[in-house]
């Protein structure tokens, strides 16, 4: 009998106010199961600082002022996310963080989990779709942009800098890349 848990692949995307956690805020978080992507979680989060990179807010269309009024506290956001992960994984599931440029998104999620809940249910690892694609195809790192991957695997969804929409798009890319011979 094996003690191995069932891997539950969870596609995650975040929108942030800048390039590094701690200094800049995570503003939105979107997540969905890779199999099937219809099971989803998303939230908007109150900023932890007023610091931002203008281009980061421009691309997402988010407002620090609006999120300060309407977003969840970081503690509530991460507690709710942890509860959702627990629900979708159940007692026999092992959550696996999946992202496109996973190091960026994982850094924010990891920081927020540890700072605001004390633990990260994903542990210290993440599965990066870009690296997976590179391994599956033998392409160069420069060919791992989402647009290049999409040209090869033809997803039906698109990325639009809405964290949940992007998580769904990434989940589709992940499934299509996994299916490559």
Residues 86-104 have pLDDT tens digits of 999 999 999 999 999 999 9
pLDDT for the residue 36: 86
Residue 142 above 80 pLDDT? yes
118 vs 97: CA distance, rounded Å: 18
Catalytic residue at 114?
A: no
Q: What is the mean pLDDT of the chain?
A: 96
**Any idea which residue has 């942890």 for tokens?**
82
36 vs 133: CA distance, rounded Å: 20
Q: Please, what is the end-to-end C-alpha distance for the chain in angstroms?
A: 31
Which one is catalytic: 161, 163, 168, 177?
161
50 vs 10: CA distance, rounded Å: 30
Q: Are 168 and 37 in contact (CB under 8 A)?
A: yes
pLDDT for the residue 136: 97
Residue 2 above 80 pLDDT? no
- Domain architecture of the chain: domains with CATH: 6-178 (3.30.420.10)
């Amino acid at each position: 009998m094996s003690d191995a848990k069932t891997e539950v692949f969870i596609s995650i995307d975040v929108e942030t106010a800048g390039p590094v956690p701690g200094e800049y805020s995570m503003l939105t978080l979107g997540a969905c199961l890779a199999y099937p992507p219809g099971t989803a979680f998303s939230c908007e989060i109150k900023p932890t600082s007023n610091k931002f990179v203008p281009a980061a807010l421009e691309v997402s269309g988010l407002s620090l002022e609006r999120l300060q009024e309407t977003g969840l506290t970081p503690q509530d956001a991460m507690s709710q996310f942890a509860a959702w992960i627990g629900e979708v994984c159940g007692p026999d599931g092992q959550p696996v963080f999946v992202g496109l440029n996973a190091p960026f998104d994982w850094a924010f999620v990891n920081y927020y989990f540890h700072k605001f809940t004390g633990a990260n249910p994903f542990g210290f690892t993440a599965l990066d779709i870009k690296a997976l694609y590179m391994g599956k195809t033998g392409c160069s790192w420069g060919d791992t942009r989402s647009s290049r991957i999409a040209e090869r695997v033809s997803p039906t969804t698109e990325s639009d800098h809405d964290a949940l929409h992007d998580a769904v798009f990434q989940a589709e890319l992940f499934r299509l890349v996994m299916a490559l011979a």
